[in-house]
Amino acid sequence: MSGADQARVVEFAIGGMTCAACSTRLEKVLNRQAGMQANVNLAAERARVRLSGGADEAAVIAAVAKAGFKAEVVDKQTREREKAAKAKAYRSEIKRFWIAVLLTLPLVGQMFFMFGEHGHHNELPRWLQLLLATPVQFWIGWRFYDGAWKALRGGGANMDVLVALGTSMAWGFSTVVTLFELPQHVYFEGGAAVITLVLLGKLLEARAKARTSEAIESLVRLQPKTARVERDGQWVEMSVDGLMPGDIFLVRPGESVPVDGEVVDGESSVNEAMLTGESMPIGKRAGDRVFAATANGQGSLRCKATGVGEHTLLAGIIRLVGEAQGSKAPVQRLADRISGIFVPTVCVIALATFVGWWAYSGEFAEALVNAVAVLVIACPCALGLATPTAIMVGTGQGARAGILVKNAEALERAEKITVLALDKTGTLTCGRPQVTDSEARGLPKAEALRLAAALEHHSEHPLARAIVAANGEGEIAAVSGFRAMAGMGVEGEVDGRRLRLGSPEWLGLQDDAVVRQWQQAGKTVIGLQEGATTLAVFAIADALRPTSRAAVARLRERGIHVVMLTGDNALTAAAIASEAGIEEFRAGILPGDKAQAVAELKAGGALVGMVGDGINDAPALAAADVSFAIGAGSDAAIEAADLTLIRSDLLGVSDAIALSGATLGKIRQNLFFAFIYNVLGIPLAALGWLNPVVAGAAMAMSSVSVVSNSLLLKRWRPRA
């Protein structure tokens, strides 16, 4: 067998990456190694490496370490360890930030008293300034030196290079002036302020990216930990991890299916809502497929394992969700892309300023001061704050309005949506089937409901619950000889009468005029029979959410084409679509086909949004440009989506799109402010019209202006 045949893909958790330059460099390092083909994801802090030949996990870890980062193979405990480590690191960074603030405030505060004829008499003693600034420079600011070194070693430059270079020159010059008591001004406050403010930006960004792993954690928790497996004619309880394809396992009433499999014998109904989003359980008998994490009904199922471990449908969905979460907003990547050009350019300008002024004036100190001023004024603190502050405020306002934003890329793209795909059940509808019509034949309607409720009393099927609910507080009669016929209905003896309750096809009512009329209205029909006599027929429907029609109308007002995707039959789909004011729908779509339907909608160049409430929607959500989850759906779907409508109100989609426009507007304004500040400030500094003190103050003001502009988003309110 060749090395290529033995190739395998291993996922590693990567620690120590701070910017796009880090991930790009690490990817290049790994791809240069024999037998390694790597893809490094900065946002997810993951590297997927295809190993072949003699390459193994240890070689990858060694190569990553040599590049200046940490790596470990991802296992089931990795996410918990990462979560704990990140929480600890964040708490440590918070402490460092507040220490930096306490040390920097006296340095910055003196600036207000340093201007004027006797300003130098009002400054703090220089030894005290040195004492305050040094911990900020080298302890608090060590991360920037580390990031700059890694970037330079990889042949690139990032914002860390500017921060480290500019602040080091300011600190170094000021320290020399202080130690030798030279008749020059010191600039400790500039470096300390830059480090503190950039650190603030890093913390804001960290908060904006928090909780990215919880979606996958929610999915993982759905799968049972143990399974009842047949061994030598005996049922043995064992860990799900130990199951192999071909193993026979038992799923008892009320239990969850441990792995994907095929029913060998037994009959039951399985609630696949956690995978399909559809509330109606599916009848299962020999030959039918079952899926991990789905909930079994009243019957027992003996099944043969067909997909275990990473080869279950649930595992596939988890992978899709993880890949979707690894994305990064283009607007956030803009700062890194510009830095690749901006940073070296600024360094060249600073060097030219130094050489030019030294040659022109012959004063080393003056030349150095002007060069430092260029570096300080160019420090992209405002650029670093532009995106995370707007996202923080925007998402905060969204949460107040019932909109939870999980993905910055979605926030950028939402305002550009041209086509919106909607899941039906639980999205447009309430997800709670109710009896809407009934017709008793030969007995009072109340009596028909009483008999039907008696048969359905012990069933967890949504249709059964609808019948029981329609009976209200009425008497529940005893049932004997009860049998459940998967996919058809139930039968039993009530008050001495042998009754059947189930589908029109089972009862031979498919040609009944009333039945056909109700089915054409998109309702589910069940009948009640005694022998060959039909006693009653009931129509059950999942009602449209009260706000759905208004929400669809509002979306269409924005020029968005709304398309409904559903697994229901065409009659039901047409009725719901008409009621909701939707012009286009696609019926009979299986859960696995929803992603393909979204891809087809995107094929024409449209920017497609997807709204769903079930885990089954995760592939479609991943395929869409922007994904929304209805809050009443599964926890996993909520965690997986880009944006979650906590209020279970489809009007929130329109509000989320409006919030996207408002937030992106602020980000664009912030980026404009940041760039204009640099475009105007750098020439002034190079010409000697700004010293580092003023440059530091201007830098601080640019950051304040960006933050203040972002805070204006607090004025945003959802449309009434």
The residues annotated as belonging to the active site are 423
Mapped onto helix, strand or coil, the DSSP state of residue 278 is coil
State how far the alpha carbon of 460 is from the alpha carbons of 266, 302, 324, 615, in Å: 18, 20, 34, 21
C-alpha span between 515 and 508 (Å, rounded): 11
Hey, how many other C-beta atoms are within 10 angstroms of the C-beta on 690? Answer: 23
d(CA 233, CA 303): 14
Q: In whole angstroms, what is the distance from residue 129 CA to residue 469 CA?
A: 75
Q: What are 719's two structure tokens?
A: 């449309």
**Among all chains, which residue has been given the structure tokens 């950028």?**
412
Contacts of 274 (CB under 8 A, 6+ apart): 222, 293, 294, 295, 614, 615, 634, 636
Among 381, 382, 356, CA closest to 370: 356
Nearest to 304 by CA among 271, 258, 269: 258
Q: 263: closest CA among 215, 296, 219?
A: 296
Task: Using only the alpha carbons of the chain, give its radius of gyration.
Answer: 33
Angle (nearest 5°) at CA 42 between 193 and 203: 30
Say if strands 524-530 and 533-544 run parallel, antiparallel, or are unpaired: antiparallel
**591 closest CA partner among 558, 620, 629, 613:** 620
Q: Count of CB atoms within 10 A of residue 287's CB?
A: 9
Q: Could you identify the residue written with the tokens 């009896």?
A: 435
How far is 504 from 570, CA to CA, in rounded Å? 18
CA separation for the pair 130, 107 (Å, rounded): 10
Task: Give me 708's structure tokens.
Answer: 């203040």
| Euclidean distance between CA atoms 100 and 81, whole angstroms | 28
| Residue 268 DSSP SS3 | strand
Packing angle, helices 381-400 and 330-361, rounded to 10: 150
Short-list 223, 291, 231, CA closest to 261: 291
What CA–CA distance (Å, rounded) separates 90 from 207?
9
Of the candidates 319, 317, 337, the one whose C-alpha atom is nearest the C-alpha of residue 328 is: 337
- Rounded CA-CA distance 204/408 in Å is 13
Task: For strands 489-494 and 479-485, give the pairing.
Answer: antiparallel
Alpha helices in 362-413 (DSSP H): 364-378, 381-400, 408-413
Q: Rounded to 10 degrees, what is the CA torsion of 228, 234, 238, 243?
A: -80
What is the DSSP pairing of strand 479-485 with strand 429-440? Answer: unpaired
The pair of structure tokens assigned to 108 is 């910055």
**Strand, helix or coil at 464?**
helix
Q: Label the pairing between strands 626-630 and 608-612.
A: parallel
The CA distance from 201 to 31, in Å, is 32
Judge whether 277 and 615 are in contact, CB under 8 Å: yes
Residue with tokens 């143990």: 226
Phi, psi dihedral angles at 72 (to 5 degrees): -145, 150
Interstrand relation of 524-530 and 226-231 (parallel, antiparallel or unpaired): unpaired
d(CA 177, CA 86) in angstroms, rounded, equals 41
Q: How far is CA 340 from the centre of its chain?
A: 28
